[in-house]
Amino acid sequence: MRAPDTVKLAVVQMHVTDQLEDNVSRAVQHVRDAAAQGAQVILLPELFENLYFCQVEREEYFALAHPLEGHPFIGRFQELARELGVVLPLSYFEKAGQAHYNSLVCIDADGTILGNYRKTHIPDGPGYEEKYYFNPGDTGFKVWDTRYGRVGVGICWDQWYPETARVMMLQGADFLLYPTAIGSEPAEVETPNSHHMWQRAMIGHAVSNSTYVAAANRIGTEVVGDLTQTYYGHTFVSDYTGEIVAELAETEEGALIHTLNIAEARKFRAGMGFFRDRRPELYGPLLTLDGVTRRG
Active site residue 156: yes
CB 174 within 8 A of CB 136: no
DSSP notation for 16-71 = --S-HHHHHHHHHHHHHHHHHTT-SEEEPPTTTTS--GGGS--GGGGGG-B-STT-
d(CA 7, CA 141): 22
Write the burial class of residue 197 (CB in 10 Å: 0-12 exposed, 13-18 middle, 19+ buried): exposed
d(CA 100, CA 90): 16
End-to-end CA distance of the chain: 40
CB 246 within 8 A of CB 8: no
Please enumerate, as own/partner, the contacts of 111-117 that have beta carbons within 8 Å and a separation of 24 or more: 111/78, 111/79, 111/81, 111/82, 112/78, 113/68, 113/74, 113/78, 114/144, 114/145, 114/146, 115/142, 115/144, 116/68, 117/141, 117/142, 117/153, 117/155
Active site residue 119: yes
Q: Of these residues, 49, 95, 106, 119, which one is catalytic?
A: 119
Q: Of these residues, 8, 46, 222, 247, which one is catalytic?
A: 46
- Amino acid at the residue 205: H
Q: Of these residues, 142, 156, 222, 247, which one is catalytic?
A: 156
d(CA 293, CA 164): 21
Strands 218-224 and 227-232: antiparallel
Q: Which residues are catalytic?
A: 46, 119, 156
